[in-house]
Structure 1
Amino acid sequence: MNGRIFYFTLLIAVCFGSCKNTASKETVLHEEKHSPRQPNIVFIFADDLGFADLGFTGSDTHLTPNLDKLAKESVYFDRAYSSHPTCAPSRMSIMTGKYPARLGAVSHGKLGGVAHPGPNDNGLPMTETTIGEALKKEGYTTAHIGKWHIGKGENNPGTRGFDVDIASNEFCCPGSYMYPFESNNEKQRVASKIPDLEDRKPGDFLTDALAEEAVKFIHSTDEKPFFLNMSFYAVHTPITAIPEKVEKYKRLIGPDARQKNPTYAGLVEHLDDAVGAILKALEEKGIIDNTIIVFTSDNGGEILHGITDNFPLRDGKGSSYEGGTRVPLLVKWPGVTQVNTVSHERIIGFDYYPTFLSMAGANPDLHDIDGRDFSPLLKNPKEKLEERDLHWLKYLSLIHYRIPIADNKRCFETIVSGDWKLHEYFQMPDGYKQHFELYNLKDDPSEKNNLANKFPEKVQELKLKMESWKKDIGAPVYDMEKFYGHVKI
């Protein structure tokens, strides 16, 4: 449903409800007294925001006062992971509560023009139940604002469980962050254009505009609980900020700073401003005390071309190293979470699905879900999740990453088991050889000291676990000749 039509429909519903007789009102009040209203859930996730991109996570450049304040009111998970180091597979996982590889999403669309096993170009399989659909069944009004990137045509937020769908295009990113939000590249102009914002004006910035749409939605809501899937395009390329912010960071960035990109710093600040606007709207509406706020990123920060630095983690987006998958995660649940606390439990992207349903008071059948409900950690900081292994699987998309292939864009599978992390890198058509890397994350979180030759038994143990996992979930099998045999290096 078009977002603006939805607002009008919602207003009619509110007016109709006010005309009911007094007995009906008393019945509703009686029910609410004995059955507390379900909390609203605002899920804010950035695109390509790195582990160390925020003030409270250690940025030496970026100013993020709104998110820093939110952190003081929240639980911060300092070992949170995305379920894939690139956008689309990670987002499919969030929407379904499943490993991307279980969905066949181990790449970025097609491989060198040859369709990859698993989801085709239309994205998220239509057989999957999204978190939007699941929460609608629990009585929630659902809204998606911003980046989708997991389906085209009829496979869009409006058909996948969201009552409101605003500004979701069919591309990875906006053509421009500046109005009219479209690319100068003719091949990308249509796909990258942001819909539903045609009434904006020159000088408008996309991240600000999305926040304004979120504010409108929040103010339009009635007594019914809502789920807002606030999916910013920022801080994905094209890296852009208004001139005032760029000039500000040119003055602030010192010669010894690790994060030296003033335009990226400005874009991060735009994101922080937008989060602040959403939080202010919740306060003005008088519902912030019954609203759960979750903030995270879809994968690690992009380090190419000096965009950012994920220090002390190695590498960035697209990589199997910690910099590719570690993300900031904040959860504020008023009356439940303890403020300004830190949890060291490992949380991963597909955990949000069962956790949101638990927060909503649902008790659904989750037998085919890979995620785990981590709400007990929010209610009691002393709680622990049952020990589990975490896996990542990525094959290369030559459409997304051109040859020659950067080392951090290789094909790999990875497992984290206890303190140990094993990477297996696959043979590639440019002569790159298959090999293993083994790290102890407790002793070496920056993954500098490869222990594969020192502990061959541990390599074999973890390799067997990876093979068993791939078989259990039906992951696509890597075949270099099938995927890349036609590629000319």
Structure 2
Amino acid sequence: MFSKKSIQLSLLLLFIASQIGHAQKQPNIVLLFADDGGYADFGFQGSKEMITPNLDKLASEGVRFTQAYVSASTCGPSRAGLITGRYQQRFGFEENNVPSYMSQYSGQDGPNMGIPLTEKTMGDYLKSLGYATAFYGKWHLGGTDKFHPLNRGFDEFLGFRGGARDYFPYENNPQDELNKLERNLGNYKEHDGYLTDVLADEAIDFIERKKNKPFFVFLSYNAVHTPMQARQEDMDKFPNLTGKRKELAGMTLSLDRACGKVLDKLKELGLDDNTIVIFTNDNGGPTDKNASINLPLSGTKSNHLEGGIRVPFLMRWPGKIKASSTYNAPISTLDLLPTFFKAGGGKDEALKNIDGVDLIPYVSNKTTGIPHETLYWKLGIRGTIRDGDWKLMRFSDRPAELYNIENDPYEQKDLAVYYPDKVKALFKKLYAWELTLERPAWLLQKKFEKVDIDRMDKYRNK
């Protein structure tokens, strides 16, 4: 016979064990990833034109990073860095991989334009921890089957392999085969409805089916990348805007609505308290093609001014991250992979040659210091380094520029002539980093003259 006291003790131990198990449960992870959004084109970033109530609410429930950077100012390289946690130049992914456009200028054929198979992706790492993984939307990391999401760590896929496509269904095959809508591997069929909504619905379906095990959803919207195609009913909500700006507002509204549907589903299923949600963007907004606004930052997509490489960035993890908070030190999208992996129970020793860091100790005030003292960018001979508050930009056709980002975040005053020793020191540090990189696997000769490539090799061979 068991005594009353022993039964009570057993029940207490069972309760404690259940609470420990609950506390150690792996969090779900949802990455909401926009394309070509302007730094200032969201309500939580101060926009008075754009309507983004769902993302604004997300910002109020977590942390907003004020100095979040991407590893490149264009789509493909930025995504390659994010999904590997490594500077993409370390494996030669320096330029956009657009085979139909590049083959005439580069020495590389389309089938080889992707993340090398030797690189582990975010999907690979999380699958190793038992996560169900899915990728929806724009891939842009290799067009042939060997680079396909299902061969790079993801269980499910609905999207397109290329870099841009229509939002409404194609009546005929698109001109670029890589932009056909594909379910999993090789099953091509156009969708019904507006693509931004379709991608969110697919993510919701996956979440519902995988709710009883840890899951990772990479929801890679093509919004708000060109072509400029918004639903008329969305544009009608912006009577005071015209032209591309009106179309962008409609597309941004649909992006926010789609994100809201995913967030609502997490709450409905009771998963929101144990789900890490990230919202960010792949590069600065193009102020010409889609009328994005990056103000008060200087620059635009494709350059290394702050407006080309600094992006909106939100993170929510209830109980781990303080609501309505901000984090002001520089971080990078390279940090997402190690952050997710460590949150899922991964060990440091399993992360191989990673350039990113786990952000959770920093935003939860468990670690002093800052995640990155130095960050780098490179495209051809063009190179940039941010070291502390100092930022040096190197060009092939004009003198370098030097800015103090703390005092001049809008990069209005070039200080290079006043601080020659600082310029020299940052040049040396940038060169030292470049010596650790691979030669670009493909490069647009139209953009970069042979003299620049020879100069790159000269530095690398010193």
1:51 is displaced (CA, Å) by 1.4
Other-structure match for 2:9: none
Residue 372, structure 1, aligned to residue 357, structure 2: yes
Q: Aligned partner of 1:336: which letter?
A: K
* Structure 1 residues 457 and 306: alpha-carbon distance in aligned structure 2, compared to 1, 3 A threshold: same
TM-score by length of 2: 0.86
Determine helix, strand or coil for the equivalent of 1:473: coil
Rounded Cα–Cα distance in structure 1 between residues aligned with 2:433 and 2:453:
24
Q: What's the counterpart of residue 5 of structure 2? A: none
- Aligned partners of 1:90, 1:264: CA distance in 2, in Å? 22
Pairwise CA distance, 1:472: 2.5
Q: Shift of the alpha carbon at 1:473?
A: 3.2
Which of 144, 150, 158 is the matching residue for 1:158?
A: 150
After TM superposition, give the deviation of residue 147 of structure 1 in Å. Answer: 0.9
Do 1:97 and 1:370's aligned partners in 2 also have CA atoms closer than 8 Å? yes
Q: How far did 1:275 drift?
A: 0.4
Compared CA separation, residues 307 and 38, structure 1 to 2 (3 A):
same
Match of 2:213 among 217, 221, 224: 224
Pair 1:137-2:128 in alignment = yes
**1:356–1:233 CA distance, 2 compared to 1 (3 A):** same
Aligned length: 425
Aligned partner of 1:416: which letter? R
Is contact 1:105-1:118 (8 Å) kept?
Answer: no
Which of the residues 94, 97, 104 maps onto 2:85? 97
1:40 to partner: Cα distance = 0.3
**Counterpart in the other structure of 1:297:** 281
Q: Which residue of 2 aligns with 1:37?
A: 25
Match of 1:209 in 2: 198
Deviation by residue 1:419-444 (Cα, 9 ceiling, x = unmatched): 11111111xxxxxx242111111121
**Aligned with residue 67 of structure 1, among 55, 67, 72:** 55
Instruction: For residue 121 of structure 1, report the CA deviation from its aligned partner.
Output: 4.0
- Equivalents in 2 of 1:228, 1:145: separation in Å? 8
Report how far residue 382 of structure 1 moved: 7.4
Equivalent position amino acid for 1:246 in 2: M
Given that 1:414 and 1:424 are in contact with CA atoms closer than 8 Å, whether structure 2 keeps it comes out as yes
* Residue equivalent to 1:388: 373
Task: Tell me, yes or no, if the aligned pair for 1:93 and 1:100 is still in contact at 8 Å.
Answer: yes
Looking at structure 1, the residues matched to 346 and 61 of structure 2 have their Cα atoms a distance apart, in angstroms, of: 25
Partner of 1:113: 104
Q: 1:88 aligns with which of 76, 95, 112?
A: 76
**Cα-Cα RMSD:** 2.7
SS at match of 1:281: helix
Are the equivalent residues in 2 in contact too, given 1:81–1:347 (CA < 8 A)?
Answer: yes
Q: How much does 1:199 deviate?
A: 6.6
1:351 is aligned to 335
Aligned counterpart for 2:254 among listed residues 266, 270, 275: 270
How far off is 1:260 after superposition?
7.0
- 8 Å contact kept, 2:231–2:250: yes
Aligned CA distance change for structure 1 residues 32 and 314 (closer, same or farther; 3 Å): same
2:293 corresponds to which residue? Answer: 309
Question: TM-score, normalised on structure 1?
Answer: 0.81
Equivalent position of 1:22 in the other structure: none
| 1:60 positional shift | 2.7
Give the equivalent residue in structure 2 for 1:413.
383
* Offset of residue 272 of structure 1: 0.2
Question: What are the superposed Cα offsets for residues 147-187 of structure 1, whole Å, 9 maximum, x if unpaired?
Answer: 110012221110111111112x221011x11123877xx63
Counterpart code for 1:298:
D
Q: Structure 1 residues 100, 116: closer, same or farther in 2, change over 3 A? A: farther
Task: Check whether the contact 1:61–1:252 (CA below 8 A) recurs between aligned residues.
Answer: no
Judged with a 3 Å threshold, the aligned counterparts in structure 2 of structure 1 residues 415 and 165 are, in CA distance, closer, same or farther, namely same
**8 A Cα contact 1:61 1:260, kept in partner:** no
**1:248-296 Cα distance to aligned partner (Å, 9 max, x none):** 22x1339xxxx97000111011100000000011111121111110110
Q: Measure the CA separation in 1 of the matches of 2:269 and 2:400.
A: 54
| Change in CA separation of 1:483 and 1:191 when aligned onto 2, cut-off 3 Å | farther
Tell me which amino acid in the other structure corresponds to 1:157: P
1:466 equivalenced with 2:430 (yes/no): yes
* Cα pair distance change 1:118/1:94, threshold 3 Å: farther
- Within 5 A, what are the aligned runs for 1:443-482? 443-474=407-438, 476=440, 480-481=449-450
Candidates 220, 227, 234, aligned match of 2:223: 234
Secondary structure in 2 aligned to 1:296? strand
Query: Which amino acid letter does the alignment assign opposite residue 314 of structure 2?
Result: L
Checking the alignment, whether the CA contact within 8 Å between 1:104 and 1:117 is kept in structure 2 is no
Hey, what's the Cα distance between the residues in 1 that align with 2:37 and 2:143? 24
Alpha-carbon distance in 2 for matches of 1:81, 1:472: 21
Q: 1:323 aligns to what? A: 307
Give the corresponding residue for 1:442. Answer: 406
Alpha-carbon distance, 1:122 to partner: 3.1
Distance 1:272 1:147, change over 3 A: same
Change in CA separation of 1:381 and 1:179 when aligned onto 2, cut-off 3 Å: farther
Distance 2:18 2:449 in 1: 59
Structure 1 window deviating more from structure 2 (61-70 vs 369-378): it is 369-378
**Residues 140 and 32 (structure 1), Cα distance of their counterparts in 2 relative to 1, 3 Å cut:** farther
Runs of at least 5 residues in structure 1 that lack an aligned partner in the other structure: 1-27, 396-410, 427-432
Alpha carbons of structure 1 residues 476 and 242: separation in structure 2 relative to 1, 3 Å: closer
Secondary structure at the aligned position of 1:414 is classed as strand
Q: Which amino acid aligns with 2:280?
A: T
State whether residues 28 and 276 of structure 2, in contact with CA within 8 Å, keep that contact through their aligned partners in structure 1.
yes
User: Is the 8 Å Cα contact of residues 119 and 125 (structure 1) preserved in structure 2?
Assistant: no
User: Which residue is 2:270 aligned to?
Assistant: 286
8 Å CA contact 2:362, 2:371 repeated in 1 = no
2:120, 2:135 → 1: CA distance?
15
Query: Structure 2 unaligned runs (5+)?
Result: 1-13, 455-462
Give the letter for the 1:78 counterpart.
T
User: Contact 1:41–1:292 (CA<8 Å) still a contact in 2?
Assistant: yes
Report the Cα offset of residue 29 of structure 1: 10
The verdict on how the C-alpha distance between 1:444 and 1:455 changes in structure 2, with shifts beyond 3 A counting, is: same
Instruction: Tell me which residue corresponds to 2:393.
Output: 423
For 2:207, the aligned partner's letter is I
CA distance in 2, matches of 1:191, 1:343: 38
Q: Partner amino acid for 1:248?
A: K
Match of 2:459 in 1: none
Is the Cα contact below 8 Å between 1:118 and 1:476 reproduced in 2? no
